[in-house]
């Protein structure tokens, strides 16, 4: 199935049903299908051919999400662009992808202005919700084409057809493009539907960005004729109101926002009885807070573990797996990432790609039709990550006696903070740009709010001093607030090996005590 097929499947179950609801206004399935056809026609009229890349830069918005299905109908490849990225990173991604069309919200006009001249390959810029110099208005854009002129696509996607190109950082901080095929997303959808409870047409509340995990979770919901309630901006109070008002059955939040829900004074008075499945993931979650959520939100918490290269469903922990047969909470499982998914083979391998002994730690590797086709125009990284037929996740973990997967470390020094990936080397490069810093090390430490927090330890130049607040502002200006350190320590020297390599394990051990 292509992305628009999930929408069309839902429409076949009732064209008049609400499909996308925002701010109390609903677009029916017929509305979304019709607008997506207009978008497809406009793209074809602007010269997009099958395989052409179209980027969307937007906060949560029903029209922006409808464009995803228009891109699919035209045979194009959807390139979600994270508005939280710095302008230079998005410019690099759009250039890497060879994007031809960029559809964006006016709230990101300044970002577009900063990168437009450096992207001559983008021949069409479309502003969704305003008049912006150098760009088409959305109404003008969709007036270009005739839906009847959109060429019919082959009945089945070809072996090399792509559905999405998704940007992800690398260990050097340079972005890569993950190639996701229709089969990858169909496998993810099938796993979602077989692994989690769906009783009746679902109502999915999307607070997390549709360009992130929240977006791909819409596909199984739409295939059942469900309704997606879209929140334009994070607001925990409003989130709880919408769960009750729309009788929401499914939703997804990273742990940081779940902690805010647990801290809301409105939680105890909100009717959450409609919830069937409250997904959490994208960052480590405190076991004690998860146990609290099971008691206060309900026995509906559901974990998922994946990565951009294998979206969402490498392992799964549906609500029932949080409990023992006698109904008590399965405390030992709450620190796990669930069991490997039914259509995914997970192995714990050593550095030679050989299985480790049961219970021992090694790299978490996976084989499945869930796994990406590779990295866009990056054969060396593709070969390394998919070596010997395994997706090498870069996560270190083990399988316990019950078959539950436990993640204990990250081989690539990646920090997951508030649901976003931060690479320590990228932060270190920004810190080292500071004139007072001689050397530094960046690590992640457990954090009740963020899952992990970015921590930097700096060694100043002789005679120099480093002010932690000033250094944080310095880094934030270069790579953004998500990647800026939440904690700065100034040490006279850093622990090193005999060959001079900084020993991050010793730093982490020292700061964790």
Question: Residue 254's pLDDT is what?
Answer: 83
Q: What percent of the chain has pLDDT over 70?
A: 96
- Select from 354, 491, 338 the least CA-distant residue to 403: 338
Q: Is the pLDDT of residue 498 over 60?
A: no
Residue 142 shares a structural domain with residue 199: no
Q: Is the pLDDT of residue 410 over 70?
A: no
Averaged pLDDT, 177-193: 97
* Residue for token pair 């939440």: 486
| 8 Å CB contact between 309 and 421 | no
Query: What is the number of domains present in the chain?
Result: 3
Question: Residue 165's pLDDT is what?
Answer: 97
Report d(CA 26, CA 452) in Å as an integer: 37
Residue 321 shares a structural domain with residue 456: no
Q: Residue 2: inside a domain, yes or no? A: no
Q: What tens digit of pLDDT does each residue of 219-243 get?
A: 999 999 999 999 998 899 999 999 9
Q: Residue 5: inside a domain, yes or no? A: no
Split at pLDDT 50, 70, 90, the class of 174 is confident
- Determine the distance from the C-alpha atom of residue 42 to the mean position of all C-alpha atoms in its chain, rounded to a whole number: 28
Residue 315 shares a structural domain with residue 389: yes
- Domain of 469, CATH number, reads 3.30.300.30
DSSP class of 334 = T
Q: Examine the fold and report which residue of 154, 180, 206 is the final residue of a domain before the chain moves on.
A: 180
Residue 169 shares a structural domain with residue 96: yes
Q: Examine the fold and report which residue of 410, 445, 461 is the final residue of a domain before the chain moves on.
A: 410
- Select from 74, 116, 76 the least CA-distant residue to 95: 116
Q: Residue 431: inside a domain, yes or no? A: yes
Averaged pLDDT, 357-385: 95
Residue 133 shares a structural domain with residue 236: no
Q: Among 29-43, 145-159, 292-306, which is the least confidently predicted range? A: 145-159
Q: What tens digit of pLDDT does each residue of 303-315 get?
A: 999 999 999 999 9
Q: Residue 318: inside a domain, yes or no? A: yes
Q: What tens digit of pLDDT does each residue of 43-66 get?
A: 999 999 999 999 999 999 999 999
Residue 222 shares a structural domain with residue 277: yes
Residue 122 shares a structural domain with residue 197: no
Q: Residue 4: inside a domain, yes or no? A: no
Residue 444 shares a structural domain with residue 488: yes
Q: Write the burial class of residue 462 (CB in 10 Å: 0-12 exposed, 13-18 middle, 19+ buried).
A: exposed
Question: Residue 215's pLDDT is what?
Answer: 87
Q: Which helix (H) or strand (E) holds 368?
A: none
- Domain of 220, CATH number, reads 3.40.50.12780
Q: Which helix (H) or strand (E) holds 470?
A: helix 468-479
Q: Which residues contact 479 (CB under 8 A, 6 or more apart)?
A: 86, 426, 427, 430
Residue 172 shares a structural domain with residue 225: no
Report d(CA 330, CA 445) in Å as an integer: 25
Task: Look up the domain containing 367 and give its range.
Answer: 184-410
Q: What tens digit of pLDDT does each residue of 76-120 get?
A: 999 999 887 778 889 999 999 999 999 999 999 999 999 999 999
Q: Residue 7: inside a domain, yes or no? A: no
Residue 253 shares a structural domain with residue 320: yes
Q: Among 48-52, 153-157, 494-498, which is the least confidently predicted range? A: 494-498
Q: Examine the fold and report which residue of 156, 180, 204 is the final residue of a domain before the chain moves on.
A: 180
Report d(CA 80, CA 58) in Å as an integer: 9
Q: Residue 1: inside a domain, yes or no? A: no
Question: Burial code of 212-244, b = ≥16 C-beta within 10 A, e = fewer?
Answer: bbbbbbbbbbbbbbbbbbbbeeeebeebbebbe
Q: Residue 6: inside a domain, yes or no? A: no
Residue 137 shares a structural domain with residue 248: no
| 8 Å CB contact between 411 and 396 | yes
Phi, psi of 405 (to 5 degrees): -90, 130
Report d(CA 215, CA 79) in Å as an integer: 12
- Domain of 121, CATH number, reads 3.40.50.980
Residue 152 shares a structural domain with residue 267: no
More confident residue, 424 or 454: 454
């Amino acid at each position: 199935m292509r992305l628009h097929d999930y929408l069309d499947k839902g429409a076949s179950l009732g064209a008049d049903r609400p499909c996308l609801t925002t701010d109390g206004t609903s677009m029916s399935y017929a509305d979304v299908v019709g607008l997506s056809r207009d978008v497809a026609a406009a793209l074809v009229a602007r010269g997009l051919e099958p395989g052409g890349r179209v980027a969307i830069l937007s906060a949560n918005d029903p029209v922006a999400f409808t464009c995803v299905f228009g891109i699919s109908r035209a045979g194009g490849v959807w390139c979600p662009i994270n508005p939280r990225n710095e302008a230079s990173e998005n410019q690099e991604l759009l250039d890497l992808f060879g994007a031809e069309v960029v559809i964006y919200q006016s709230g990101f006009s300044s970002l577009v202005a900063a990168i437009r001249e450096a992207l001559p390959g983008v021949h069409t810029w479309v502003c969704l919700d305003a008049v912006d110099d150098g760009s088409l208005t959305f109404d003008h854009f969709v007036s270009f084409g005739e839906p009847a002129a959109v060429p019919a696509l082959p009945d089945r996607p070809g072996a090399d057809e792509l559905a999405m190109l998704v940007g992800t950082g690398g260990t050097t901080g340079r972005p890569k493009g993950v190639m996701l095929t229709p089969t990858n997303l169909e496998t993810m959808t099938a796993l979602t539907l077989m692994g989690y409870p769906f009783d009746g047409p679902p109502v999915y509340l999307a607070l997390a960005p549709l360009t992130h995990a929240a977006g791909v979770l819409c596909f199984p919901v739409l295939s059942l004729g469900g309704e997606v309630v879209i929140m334009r901006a994070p607001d925990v109070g409003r989130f709880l109101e919408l769960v009750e008002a729309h009788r929401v059955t499914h939703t997804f939040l990273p742990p940081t926002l779940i902690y805010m829900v647990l801290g809301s004074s409105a939680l105890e008075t909100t009717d959450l009885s409609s919830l069937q499945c409250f997904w959490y993931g994208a960052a480590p979650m405190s076991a004690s807070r998860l146990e609290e959520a099971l008691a206060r939100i309900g026995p509906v918490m559901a974990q998922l573990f994946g990565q951009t290269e294998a979206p969402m469903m490498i392992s799964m922990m549906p609500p029932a797996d949080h409990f023992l047969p006698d109904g008590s909470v399965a405390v030992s499982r709450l620190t796990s990432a669930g069991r490997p998914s039914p259509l995914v083979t997970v192995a714990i391998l050593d550095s030679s790609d050989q299985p480790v002994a049961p219970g021992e730690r090694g790299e978490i590797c996976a084989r499945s039709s869930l796994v990406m086709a590779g990295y866009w125009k990056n054969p060396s990284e593709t070969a390394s990550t998919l070596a010997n037929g395994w997706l090498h996740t870069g996560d270190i973990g083990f399988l316990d006696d019950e078959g539950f997967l436990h993640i204990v470390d990250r081989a690539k020094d990646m920090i997951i903070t508030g649901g976003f990936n931060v690479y320590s080397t990228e932060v270190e490069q920004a810190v080292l740009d500071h004139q007072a810093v001689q050397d530094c090390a960046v690590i992640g430490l457990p954090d009740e709010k963020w899952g992990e927090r970015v921590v930097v330890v700096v060694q100043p130049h002789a005679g120099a001093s480093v002010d932690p607040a000033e250094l944080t502002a310095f880094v934030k200006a270069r790579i953004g607030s998500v990647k800026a350190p939440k904690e700065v320590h100034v040490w006279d020297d850093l622990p090193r090996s005999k060959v001079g390599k900084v020993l991050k394990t010793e730093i982490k051990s020292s700061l964790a005590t």
